[in-house]
Amino acid sequence: MSRNEDRAGRDTDLEKVRARYGLFAVVVSNLAIAAVAIVGVWQLDGDKGVIIGILTAAFTAVSSLTTAYLGIKAVSNTARSIALGDGAARRHPEATPAAPPAQGAS
């Protein structure tokens, strides 16, 4: 195996580990937010105004955290594919501009 192929294999393994643990961190964080929200709602004994505030804040935190992770992961994957040269193969060839019509002699 050549040196570049070995490095590419290690980079792929590293990306898999980063993705796995990043997703794990997001899931654990979301579960922790949900647990705190559930305990908070349970302790309030029916105060609807505060319960709505807690659930809204929990939903906002979960959706923001998940969206941030997915956005960063997408940008990272795009940057990596461009750096490895995959981006040029995906681009569509640009259309060549049409030649201007020939002008007739007057």
**pLDDT class of 89 with cuts at 50, 70, 90:** low
State pTM to two decimals: 0.66
Query: Which pLDDT does position 47 carry in this prediction?
Result: 82
Distance CA(61)–CA(36), nearest Å, equals: 12
Contact criterion met (CB below 8 Å) for 25 and 7 = no
- What's the pLDDT band for 71 if we cut at 50, 70, 90? very high
Residue 36 has pLDDT above 90, yes or no: yes
Mean pLDDT (whole number) for 62-81: 92
Helices within 45-99 (DSSP H only) = 48-83, 86-90
pLDDT of residue 97 exceeding 80, the answer is no
Q: What is the mean pLDDT of the chain?
A: 83
Please name the amino acid found at residue 24.
F
Q: What pLDDT was estimated at residue 3?
A: 66
Kindly tell me if the per-residue pLDDT of 12 is higher than 90.
no
pLDDT at 8: 67
